[in-house]
Amino acid sequence: MKFRAKIVDAACLNHFTRVSNMIAKLAKTCTLRISPRHLNFILSDKVASGGVSMWCELEQENFFNEFQMEGVSAENNAIYLELTSENLSRALKTAQNARALKIKLTNKHFPCLTVSIELLSVSSSSRIVTHDIPIKVIPRKLWKDLQEPTVPDCDVSIYLPVLKTMKSVVERMKNISNHLTEMLHLQIIEANRNGDLNLKIESELVCVTTHFKDLGNPPFASENASQDRNPARMAEVHVDIRKFLQFLSGQQVNPTKAICNIVRNKVVHFDLLHEDVSLQYFIPALS
Amino acid sequence: AAMLKCGMNGSQVKVFGKAVQALSRISDELWLDPSEKGLALRSVNSCRSAYGCVLFSPLFFQHYQWSTSVEMNDNNRISNLNCKLGIKSILPIFRCLNSLERNVENCKIFTRSDKCKVIFQFFCRHGIKRTHNVCFQESQPLQVIFEKNTCSNTLMIQPRVLAEAIVLFTSNQEEVTLAVTPLNACIKSSNEESMDLTNSVYSEMFVGPDEFDFFQIGVDTEITFCFKELKGMLTFSEAIRAPISIHFDIPGKPIGLSIDDMLLEANFVLATLADEPSRGSSPQSTCLSQKRKRSDVVCSNSKAGEKNSKVTEYVSGKAARKRLYPDETLTDISTLENCGSPTVKRVNRDITEVPESSVSDTEEVPGSPYLRKFACMFFGALSSDPREHFDNPFDNLATASDSEEDMNNGSYSTS
C-alpha cells in the first residue's frame, strides 16, 4: 500500500483545508478512502454516529499536482484509513502560507499519514513542518459497509435556502427545545413540490415554525411515480435537532448547490456541492 | 508600615495589564513586590516548575514610591510589603486593555502592609473614577535564581516566529521539545507524551539560524518543557514588540526566557524534563551539570555590598525535586523558619550541602504524571554576606506560607 500526493497551488491548498475543516465539524472520526481518481471522507451509519451517514467526494486531479497510490491489491485498488478528523484539519491549519504540501502514508512506529509543509518565511530559508497523524488501516472485509450510499426515492426534493439563515433559525429552536423536556430534541423538516420548506418544533404548549417560500424544486423530482398529485402536500420527517444543527454548523461557506430530499418518516438526505466537492449527508428519522 | 504607591497613564496600564495576563498563565496568585529596582510582579506555579517575573523599573511609571517598614519590637526587624493577590481578583480589573488604554487617563495603585488591601484607582475620561479594593494575603514572595550567562545555549527570536511554532501543537499536548544543533533548531512534540497518547499527532518544525536574531549553540541538546505557561509570555512580548531571549542548557536544567526593554524586564523560568540516568547521559554532561548547579545556587548577590540596605532579600520556599544524578549532592534550599541565629548562619554558609532528607517529597500534581519527572526550580537565598546575618539574623528567613510541615520546632538537622 502506498500513497504520496502533493499540492503546490495556494487556492487548491486553501480549498482542501476548508474541506478538511468541514469534515472535522461533521464527524469526529471518519474513514478516508483513497482511490486512483478520488478521495472520499466517509461516515457510515453505525450506531456510534446515531445513524447519520456521510459521503464526501473530491476528484484528486482538482487538488493535487502529484498523486500516486497503490491499493491493497490490483483488483482492490483502494486504501481505507480511519482517522480523527480534527488531526488532519489542525495539521492543515499550519499550511496557510505554504509553498508546498505533501501527504504520504508512512509507518513510523505505527501507521501514519504524514503531512509535510514547506512554509514561506520572511528570511530566505524556508521552514519545514511535519505532522505525523496516527491512522488505522481498515481491513478489506469491512469495506462493504463503507460504499457510496444509494440515493433513496424521495417524496419531495427541494432546493435549500441560504444555510447560514437556516443555521441561526435551527440554533434558536434548539435552545428552546432544551428547556422543554417533552420536545426531546425533535426537529420537524417538511417540504412540498411548490418550493415551500418548514422547520418546526412543537410540544403541547408551544409550536414554533419558520417558513421558507419560493425555494424551487429540482426538475427530476417531478418524474417520480410515487409522488402525490397534490404538489402542496408536505412530506415530513422528524429528526434529532442536534444532528441537524451539527450538519449546518459544518458548512462554513454557502454551497454552490444544496438540495434536500425527504423520504417521508424515514430519512432526510442533503446533497451539497461546494465548488467541485460533493457532500451527501443522511439523517435518519427518529422513531 | 511598608508601602507602595505608583501611577500610570493609559498606555502604561495596557502594558501592566498584559504582564498580569501573562503571569496569570503560570498560577492563580501574584506577588506585588516593590523595591528600589522597581515594582516586580511575581508568580510561581503550584508544582514549582514554572516561575514568572515582570519587573517594571521606576522610570516606567509616572511616579513611583515605596518603602519598607522597620518594626520597633525585638531586633529592629525590617519587613517588606509581602503582598500576594489572587489572580481572579486582578484579572477582571485589567480586562479589555485596548479600551482601558483609550479611556484611562491615570491609574493609581496604592497599598500599605497594615491595610490588608491594594487600591487600584482608574481616573477615566468624562470624569469617571473607578476604584477597586483588592484584599491581599501576607506572604513573602518566592524568587528564582537563574544564571543566564552560564547557559551554553542562547537564542534570541522575534515572538511572531515562536508563536507560529506553538500553533502547531494540539491543545491536549502540554509538552514541547526544543532540539538544537549549531546548524538549526527544531521544535517538536514531546516523545514521551506522544507515545502515551495513542491518538496524538507528532509534529515538528525546523527553524534555520537566520530566523533568529541571535543563535549561539554551545552544546547540542534536546530539552522538554511545558509550553502552556509560555503562551502568556508570547502575547506579552508581542504587545511590547520586543524579542525574546532564550537561555538553556542540558535536560534537567531550567530554561529561561526573558524580555529586556529599557523600562521593564520579564523573566520566565521553566523546569525541563531530566534525562533518566539509565538513558545514558554522558559522564561529561554530568560533570557539567554539577558545576552548573553549584554556580546557579550560590550566586553572588548584587546586594552584598549594601549592608545597610533597607531591603531584605527573600529566601526560598522549599524546592521539592527528585535527584537527577545519583552521585550528586542536592543543592536544595529547604524552608527555614525563624530560628536562632547559629542555625541560620550555618545553613546560609553551607548552602550546597543541604541533605536530601530535609526535603520533602515532590508535590504530586493531579492528572499530570509527567510533571513528577520535572526538576523543580532553585529558589535562592541571595545574601552572601555573612556579616549581614550577624546583625540581622532574621533578614534572610522566610516562611513560605505553605511549608510549615517541613520543620519540627525550628531545629535543623544535617545528618
CB-based contacts of B156, cutoff 8 Å, min separation 6: B212, B213, B214, B215, B243, B244, B245, B246
Supply the angle between the helices A85-93 and A10-26 in degrees, to the nearest 10: 150
A179/A243 same-domain check: yes
**What is residue B113's three-state secondary structure?**
coil
Q: Examine the pLDDT at B57 and tell me if it is beyond 90.
A: yes
> What integer pLDDT is reported at residue B2 of this predicted model?
85
Q: Which domain holds residue A22?
A: 2-145
Is the CB of B167 less than 8 angstroms away from the CB of A94?
A: yes
Is the CB of A127 less than 8 angstroms away from the CB of B203?
A: no
In eight-state DSSP terms, residue A270 is E
Whole-number Å distance between alpha carbons of B7 and B60: 9
Distance from CA of A216 to the nearest CA of B (A): 44
Lowest mean pLDDT among A59-63, A227-231, B166-170, B311-315: B311-315
CB A209 within 8 A of CB A199: yes
Q: Examine the pLDDT at B21 and tell me if it is beyond 60.
A: yes
Average pLDDT over residues B180-194: 82
In eight-state DSSP terms, residue B400 is -
A170/A257 same-domain check: yes
Distance from CA of A129 to the nearest CA of B (A): 4
> What integer pLDDT is reported at residue A286 of this predicted model?
85
Q: Answer yes or no: is A106 within a domain.
A: yes
Distance from CA of B213 to the nearest CA of A (A): 11
Check which CATH number belongs to the domain holding A113 and give it. 3.70.10.10
Nearest to B201 among A124, A125, A132 (CB): A132
A140/A171 same-domain check: no
Whole-number Å distance between alpha carbons of B373 and B132: 41
**Of A113, A145, A177, which residue sits at a domain end?**
A145
Whole-number Å distance between alpha carbons of A202 and A208: 6
> What integer pLDDT is reported at residue A203 of this predicted model?
78
> What integer pLDDT is reported at residue B283 of this predicted model?
37
Which segments within A76-234 are labelled E, that is strand?
A: 79-84, 98-108, 110-119, 127-134, 136-137, 156-159, 186-191, 197-202, 207-212
For residue B362, the tally of other CB atoms under 10 A from its CB is 19
Please report the DSSP string for B301-350 in residue order.
Answer: PTTTT-TT-SPPP----------SSTTSPP-------S--HHHHHHHHHT
Q: Examine the pLDDT at B384 and tell me if it is beyond 90.
A: no
Compute the mean pLDDT over every residue in chain B, rounded to the nearest whole number. 69
> What integer pLDDT is reported at residue A227 of this predicted model?
53
Whole-number Å distance between alpha carbons of B241 and B17: 15
* Cα separation values, B221 from A208, B260, B277, B281, Å: 64, 25, 16, 11
**Of A145, A170, A199, which residue sits at a domain end?**
A145
Whole-number Å distance between alpha carbons of B85 and B132: 13
Q: Examine the pLDDT at B213 and tell me if it is beyond 80.
A: yes
A175/A141 same-domain check: no
Is the CB of A123 less than 8 angstroms away from the CB of B210?
A: yes
pLDDT tens, position by position, B75-110: 666 777 888 999 999 999 998 889 989 999 999 999
Cα angle: B377, vertex B380, B386; to 5 degrees: 160
Q: Cα-flanking dihedrals φ and ψ of residue A178, to 5°?
A: -60, -30
The identity of residue A95, as a single letter, is A
Listed residue (B367, B370, B358) closest to B407, CA to CA: B358
3-state helix, strand, coil in chain A (%, to 5): 25, 40, 35
**What is residue B89's three-state secondary structure?**
helix
A160/A132 same-domain check: no
For residue A151, the tally of other CB atoms under 10 A from its CB is 12
Listed residue (B6, B2, B1) closest to B110, CA to CA: B6
Is the CB of B199 less than 8 angstroms away from the CB of A134?
A: yes
* Cα separation values, B218 from B94, B183, B186, Å: 41, 11, 16
Is the CB of B203 less than 8 angstroms away from the CB of A131?
A: yes
A83/A173 same-domain check: no
Residue B410's pLDDT band (boundaries 50, 70, 90)?
very low
Is the CB of B202 less than 8 angstroms away from the CB of A121?
A: no
> What integer pLDDT is reported at residue A150 of this predicted model?
85
CB B154 within 8 A of CB B214: yes
Count of residues in chain B: 415
Average pLDDT over residues B228-239: 84
Is the CB of B201 less than 8 angstroms away from the CB of A131?
A: yes
| Fold adopted by B148-192+201-273 | Proliferating Cell Nuclear Antigen (3.70.10)
Distance from CA of A95 to the nearest CA of B (A): 10
Q: Answer yes or no: is A151 within a domain.
A: no
pLDDT tens, position by position, B111-145: 988 888 999 999 999 999 999 999 998 888 888 88
> What integer pLDDT is reported at residue A128 of this predicted model?
85
Listed residue (A253, A252, A250) closest to A280, CA to CA: A250
Residue of A nearest to B209 (CA): A125
A189/A219 same-domain check: yes
Output the CATH code of domain B2-71+78-138.
3.70.10.10
Q: Answer yes or no: is A150 within a domain.
A: no
> What integer pLDDT is reported at residue B393 of this predicted model?
38
Task: Tally the domains of chain A.
Answer: 2
Say what percent of chain B tops pLDDT 90.
31
Tell me the H-state helices in A37-194: 85-93, 163-179
Residue B247's pLDDT band (boundaries 50, 70, 90)?
very high
Residue indicated by cell numbers 499527532: B201
Residue numbers of chain A with a pLDDT score lower than 70 = 47-50, 121-125, 180-184, 220-229, 287
pLDDT tens, position by position, B267-301: 999 999 887 654 433 333 333 333 333 223 222 22
The contact set of B with A (CB < 8 A) is: 164, 167-168, 170, 195, 198-208, 210-211
A207/A80 same-domain check: no
CB A154 within 8 A of CB A262: yes
The sign one gets for the Cα dihedral A231, A234, A237, A243 is positive
Whole-number Å distance between alpha carbons of A67 and A63: 9
Distance from CA of B243 to the nearest CA of A (A): 16
In B, which residues are within 8 Å of A131 by CB distance? 168, 201-203
Q: Where are the domains of chain B?
A: 2-71+78-138, 148-192+201-273
**Of A118, A145, A172, which residue sits at a domain end?**
A145
Q: Examine the pLDDT at B167 and tell me if it is beyond 90.
A: no
Whole-number Å distance between alpha carbons of B136 and A173: 47
Residue B172's pLDDT band (boundaries 50, 70, 90)?
low
Q: What pairing do the DSSP bridges indicate for beta strands A267-274 and A186-191?
A: unpaired
pLDDT tens, position by position, B338-349: 222 222 222 233
